[in-house]
Amino acid sequence: MKRLCLVLLLVGLSCSAYALSAAPGRRPSGLQLCFPRPQAGDSIVIAPLEHLLVNGNLAGEARSLMINGQAVELHAQGRFATRIPWPGESLELEWITDAGLQRDRLVLLPPQVDRESLPPERSLLPGRHRLQERTAISTAPGASYWLFPLPQALVELRESDGRWGRLELGASLEGWVPLARLEPAAGPFREPALAGSALRYEGEARWSFALRPGPLVHHIEDDGSAGPLRLQLPGVFSAFDRAELDPAGLLEHMDWEALPGGGTELKLHTASDVHGISVSWEDGRMVLELQRAPRSLKGARILLDPGHGGEESGCIGASGMTEARLNRLLAEELARQLERKGAEVLWTVRADERMGLYDRVAVCDSLQPDLFLSLHHNSVPEDGDPWSTPGFSVYYYTGYSAKAARLLHEELADWGRLPDDGLHWRSLAVCRQWTCPALLLEAGSLIHPGEEELLLDERFRRAQAKKIRKALQEYFRSVD
Ligand SMILES: [Zn+2]
């Protein structure tokens, strides 16, 4: 895993020591050490690595910085950022100011593993279970997230293995979830699941169908604008023989076919400007809502998601700037520009507060905006070279998001003010949502000291926000 910031998004957990507290203060010596971060007095708790990233800045006119005997270059405002071999027991810094030789020493301590905080091993009997909360089903214990069922979805547990359970999903599919996320559910073992015979139009772009015995695991396959939207229900037998279409023509046609190994695939042929679907569960029925893209940024509802916040600051640049703060500065500038063009700006989290990744997705599900944009700034791992990966990158996951992601990437690449670190399809928690196009922008590398200077410049930020706004404008304009 290359980037720390992205590791957090993938696992959906709070991050390592690197991102758990706000910007560190200045020490009596004049040193502000941003990474590794002093935690208690003169000590730093960190697991030993082969190399260590060290960044921060020095007060006054500092010269000739040495870190554990290695000369380190100083930049504007006394900033430094380097990667050194693992220093062992302590981190020792020496530098010269007009007042003479300055020293600081921090002890490195290995983290105490708190075994009590690990989830207990469980053993659950095979049979029907309910997923306790919004969780993902993985392809193997600890492996890639794969399916994203509704909260409270019913699943069939086949075996327990330590902290993981193997689920039989139907259609010859199996998946794994942490046992801690399962709760035994009542009901006969292996009762066949059945989808009702009618896809009913409920008005306002909503359809529903009955599904027995409860919310079951589904999988959406969308190919962007081409081909039908495919809603797969492994293990579910279908009795579909009629569907109500809507007067506006969002749903142009529907059919279904049986999945090999048992299951149903509902094929929804939607209007070309449909760019999102949300799936929910109400009163024994699966509810599908189709989203039509507006044709202009004017009036479009954009959900901005400044990454990190509160005590979870994200990475910290050598100046002491936190990623959370920089994400918010960019989001606020972008919001101003979007509102000037008539867009309605919504926020996943308005104040500088910590918010879980799935909670951000839940906000998107409930607000049903026209586009979701998560703003981040990049970093490298704790043993990485801060100079190694400059530039911006754009991430998306669903087919609905591909076009908007490409336009955003193109606009920033053509601008050329930052190196292009690519356009990526990637299973990130905040991008795994089908309600609307969902993008994540790493707007630059905060850990790269040269780039940090640019990112701190307000004029640069205004110009960058303008490019992002233009890309979104172009996206809505391109809707046909
Ligand atoms: Zn981040």
- Give the residue from 327, 470, 342 showing the smallest Cα distance to 410: 470
Judge whether 176 and 166 are in contact, CB under 8 Å: yes
One domain for residues 137 and 82: no
One domain for residues 328 and 455: yes
DSSP state of 429: G
Judge whether 343 and 297 are in contact, CB under 8 Å: yes
Question: Which residues have a Cβ under 8 Å from the Cβ of 288 and sit 6 or more positions away?
Answer: 206, 207, 208, 231, 268, 277, 278, 279
pLDDT of residue 6: 45
One domain for residues 408 and 288: no
One domain for residues 316 and 443: yes
Cα(429) to centroid(ligand 1), Å? 12
Cα(325) to centroid(ligand 1), Å? 11
pLDDT of residue 8: 44
Q: Which CATH number covers residue 282? A: 2.60.40
Number of separate domains in the chain:
4
pLDDT of residue 120: 62
Backbone phi and psi for residue 308, each to the nearest 5 degrees, phi listed first: 65, -170
One domain for residues 60 and 147: no
Q: For residue 110, list its beta bridge partners.
A: none
Q: Which CATH number covers residue 154? A: 2.30.30.40
pLDDT of residue 17: 31
Residue 144 tokens, joined: 């890639």
Cα(323) to centroid(ligand 1), Å? 7
Judge whether 56 and 34 are in contact, CB under 8 Å: yes
Cα(92) to centroid(ligand 1), Å? 29
Cα(19) to centroid(ligand 1), Å? 9
- Give the residue from 326, 442, 380 showing the smallest Cα distance to 81: 380
3-state secondary structure of 443: strand
One domain for residues 171 and 216: no
DSSP 347-390: ES--SS----HHHHHHHHHHH--SEEEEEEEE---TTS-TTS--
Cα(6) to centroid(ligand 1), Å? 6
Cα(305) to centroid(ligand 1), Å? 11
Residue 61 lies in a domain: yes
Residue 115 lies in a domain: no
One domain for residues 202 and 275: yes
Out of 234, 263, 292, a domain closes at: 292
Question: Which residues have a Cβ under 8 Å from the Cβ of 42 and sit 6 or more positions away?
Answer: 105, 106, 107
Between β-strands 154-161 and 164-170, what pairing exists: parallel, antiparallel or unpaired? antiparallel
Cα(195) to centroid(ligand 1), Å? 41
Cα(319) to centroid(ligand 1), Å? 17
Cα(244) to centroid(ligand 1), Å? 44
Residue 473 lies in a domain: yes
Q: Residue 35 is inside which H or E element, if any?
A: strand 31-35
Out of 109, 136, 164, a domain closes at: 109
One domain for residues 268 and 335: no
Regions of the chain with pLDDT less than 70:
1-22, 114-121, 188-190, 224-225
One domain for residues 94 and 157: no
Cα(395) to centroid(ligand 1), Å? 12
Rounded CA gap, 242 and 240, in Å? 6
Cα(320) to centroid(ligand 1), Å? 15
One domain for residues 276 and 396: no
One domain for residues 95 and 136: no
Residue 117 lies in a domain: no
One domain for residues 221 and 144: no
Residue 384 lies in a domain: yes
pLDDT of residue 16: 31
Rounded CA gap, 86 and 273, in Å? 54
For residue 208, the enclosing domain spans 193-292
Rounded CA gap, 433 and 395, in Å? 13
Cα(314) to centroid(ligand 1), Å? 6
pLDDT of residue 239: 87
Out of 109, 138, 163, a domain closes at: 109
Q: For residue 338, list its beta bridge partners.
A: none
